Amino acid sequence: MKRVALYSSSKRQRATPEIVAAEPQRAEPSEADGAPRAPGRIRSFLRRHQLLLGIAAGAVIASAVVLGQVALAPVQRALTQKDIDAAVLRTLETKPLPSRAAQAYDLIRGSVVRVRGLGGENEPDKDVERSVGTGVVILENGTILTNLHVVAGAKRLGVVFADGMEAEATIVGTKPEDDLAVIRTSSVPDDLVPATLRSTADLRLGDEVVAVGFPFGIGPSVSSGVISGLRREYRSPEGKRLLTNLIQFDAAANPGSSGGPLFTTDGEVVGIVTGILNPAKQAVFIGIGFAVPIENAASAAGVSPF
């Protein structure tokens, strides 16, 4: 059976005699008769291209509608610097940014630990906290910098990390001339991040610094201030040790802050808090604290970051 074609490219065939007989052909006027043929051609053109003309007409109408909406829409004013400043000011008024000290603490908080001096093995409560200080993690294996006077005399050492995990620690190095001790814990948190150390070579008086520790066992406590002096000397309250080349600062520090980090507003450690100056017998802060430069502290741990 012959397949019927969906589309054909052949020319239109002439009418058959039967069709002619059924519908006699009318004579069309010719140019020789003086009748114009243009209207017939136009009608024929319109019939052949009716679909295309409809699409074109729709496109023209749609374009006209869009152009009308654009013409009627209000003109957007270009933003000026004054507009931008006003928007920023409104944002700051409604959503104030955290302080520089708060931002710095967020960067280092995971590296600060509580150092505990614990009771001896033969004591009834061997886990009782007999002394407290602060330390800062400098290596992923649990290596921590603190003060020698924090750990001296303790029978056992314990460390509490920022996430609350507790571990025992042992002394692995000391540097008495700088009142420094290096301790290492038996275990560490999986996500432990060591602090970033920074050279003190470019420090200037008036630079902002932040201190964090456990003053009187309360903490972690954060305080901020500035560098008040460089290359200072400090003699321990017992008068047994003279410390030199110290950083003087005015961020609050008290007993329990010893061994904690002194760091910049970028969260980078520049020193280890080691003592406070007070002419009275009470060990309370009156505005002058001292920190060992991080270069000295890092060398105590066998680390040279600069």
- How high is the mean pLDDT in each 10-residue block of the chain (306 residues)? 42 46 48 52 63 66 67 70 83 80 95 90 72 94 94 91 95 91 95 93 96 94 96 78 92 94 96 87 85 86 60
What pLDDT sits at residue 263?
97
Candidates 205, 180, 191; CA nearest to 291 is 180
- Give pTM, 2 decimals: 0.68
Q: Is residue 207 part of a domain?
A: yes
What pLDDT sits at residue 58?
67
What pLDDT sits at residue 89?
81
CA–CA separation, 59 and 92 (whole Å): 50
Q: How far does Cα 24 stand from its chain's mean position?
A: 91
Q: Is residue 121 part of a domain?
A: yes
What pLDDT sits at residue 91?
77
What pLDDT sits at residue 14?
47
Q: Is residue 268 part of a domain?
A: yes
Dump the DSSP string for 149-198.
Answer: HHHTT-SEEEEE-TTS-EEEEEEEEEEGGGTEEEEEES---TT--PPEE-
CATH number for 223: 2.40.10.120
Q: Is residue 6 part of a domain?
A: no
CB 233 within 8 A of CB 217: no
3-state secondary structure at position 105: helix
What pLDDT sits at residue 39?
61
Q: Is residue 162 part of a domain?
A: yes
Domain housing 136: 106-300
Q: Is residue 256 part of a domain?
A: yes
Q: Is residue 80 part of a domain?
A: no
What pLDDT sits at residue 82?
86
Active site residues: 149, 179, 258
Per the structure, the count of domains in the chain is 1
Q: Is residue 96 part of a domain?
A: no
